[in-house]
Amino acid sequence: MSENNSEKFQPAFCPIRHVLDRFGDKWSILVVELLSHKGRMRFSEIANNIGDISQKMLTVTLRSLEADGLISREFFPEIPPRVEYELTALGKSLIPPINNLLHWGQEHLETILNNRKRYEEKDQEKAKGKKAYS
Amino acid sequence: MSENNSEKFQPAFCPIRHVLDRFGDKWSILVVELLSHKGRMRFSEIANNIGDISQKMLTVTLRSLEADGLISREFFPEIPPRVEYELTALGKSLIPPINNLLHWGQEHLETILNNRKRYEEKDQEKAKGKKAYS
DNA sequence: CTGGATCCATGGGGATACTG
DNA sequence: CAGTATCCCCATGGATCCAG
């Protein structure tokens, strides 16, 4: 009985965990979103558009997205070399759900920031109250 | 001109970054998802359902979700004490976009895992090829 | 230009002990 | 039971140098 209560959130069973592990990093979703707007892009283009990503993290992110089949990588053996990235069909299928989430974020961002601010103020009051006692 | 190219992904300008910062951690989305299924839950209930979250991280996660106004926290001064968490209206509004993303994940998880596997194999072949040369 | 390889600092997050 | 406080480790990710 007690076994049946803990059904589907235990790490082993649930695919949700895989998804969250996949997009839990700061950059993956951002890169996908970026590529969805600009289409085909070069390495340095992506780096410049994001601004504050190190080239190491960009490389790692692109590799893992490529490994999952979300983006394609085309290498041009020119001098200087050129590499272009693009969303695959699978990658494109990810755009709608991502946009939903981002849209929700834009819609509620102000509310959330206000909530956060109020919460911090309440926290400081409590801290004051404690200090007044001692 | 060159300024106009880098429009909206720079950290300062874009609300997307706030969203990603908010949900970039491993646990927030999982807790929201869990609460959306079970409704009102106690601290230890959440911990048990997730399984492999430390009580520290659960506390931190719950606090930040509460700070953003996504969940409500009710404390019962009994002995032993009891605390119950629940999604707020704002928190509930987050369920559909999250479910979309998770649904996408479930649908494509197998494909992704296969892609990843094939990618690793290709990687190993390349490594072998290199060694054969030297 | 596009990375790979390495070194290294930071902080996220676990383990443990303690409190109300 | 539901945290808080502390210590501490290790992965994440930045900086730098090197290669094709």
Residues contacting residue B48 through CB under 8 Å, at least 6 positions apart: A5, A6
Which one is predicted more confidently, A20 or B8?
A20
Q: Is residue B2 scored above 50 in pLDDT?
A: no
pTM above 0.75?
yes
Q: Is residue B130 scored above 60 in pLDDT?
A: no
- The gap between B32 CA and D17 C1' (Å) is 45
B37-68: b or e for each residue (b if 16 or more CB lie within 10 Å)? Answer: eeeebebebbbbbbeebeeeebeebbebbbbb
**In this structure, what is the dihedral angle of CA atoms A35, A38, A33, B16, given to the nearest 10 degrees?**
140
Closest CB from A20, A29, A108 relative to B20? A29
Q: Is residue A131 scored above 70 in pLDDT?
A: no
**So what's the pLDDT on residue A14?**
73
CB interface of B with A, residues 51-110, below 8 Å? 51-52, 66-70, 90, 93-94, 96-98, 100-106, 108-109
B93 chain-A contacts, CB cut-off 8 A:
104, 108
Q: What is the pLDDT of residues B25-77, one digit of tens each?
A: 889 999 999 999 999 999 999 999 998 899 999 999 999 999 999 999 999 99
Q: State whether the beta carbon of B80 lies below 7 angstroms from any atom of strand D.
A: yes
Q: State whether the beta carbon of B55 lies below 7 angstroms from any atom of strand D.
A: yes
- Min distance B11 CA to chain A CA atoms (Å): 7
**Chain B CA closest to residue A108:** B90
Instruction: Say if the Cβ atoms of B51 and A19 lie within 8 Å.
Output: no
Q: Is residue A75 scored above 80 in pLDDT?
A: yes
* CA distance readout (Å), A93 to A32, A98, B111: 11, 9, 13
- Residue A81 gets which letter from DSSP? -
**So what's the pLDDT on residue B121?**
82
Q: Is residue A6 scored above 50 in pLDDT?
A: no
**So what's the pLDDT on residue B70?**
97
**So what's the pLDDT on residue B126?**
62
Which one is predicted more confidently, A26 or A88?
A88
**So what's the pLDDT on residue A36?**
95
Q: Is residue B127 scored above 50 in pLDDT?
A: yes
Q: Is residue A127 scored above 80 in pLDDT?
A: no
Question: What six digits make up the tokens of B108?
Answer: 């494509």
**So what's the pLDDT on residue A8?**
59
Instruction: Say if the Cβ atoms of A49 and B6 lie within 8 Å.
Output: yes
**So what's the pLDDT on residue A111?**
95
Q: State whether the beta carbon of B81 lies below 7 angstroms from any atom of strand D.
A: yes
- The gap between B105 CA and C14 C1' (Å) is 28
Q: Is residue A12 scored above 90 in pLDDT?
A: no
Please give the single-letter amino acid code of residue B124: Q
Residue B98's SS3 state is helix
**So what's the pLDDT on residue A85?**
97
Average pLDDT, chain B: 84
Q: Is residue A26 scored above 90 in pLDDT?
A: no
**So what's the pLDDT on residue B5?**
42
Please give the CATH number for the structural domain made up of A15-132.
1.10.10.10
Q: What is the pLDDT of residues A27-36, one digit of tens each?
A: 999 999 999 9
Please list the residues that pair with B74 across neighbouring strands: B84
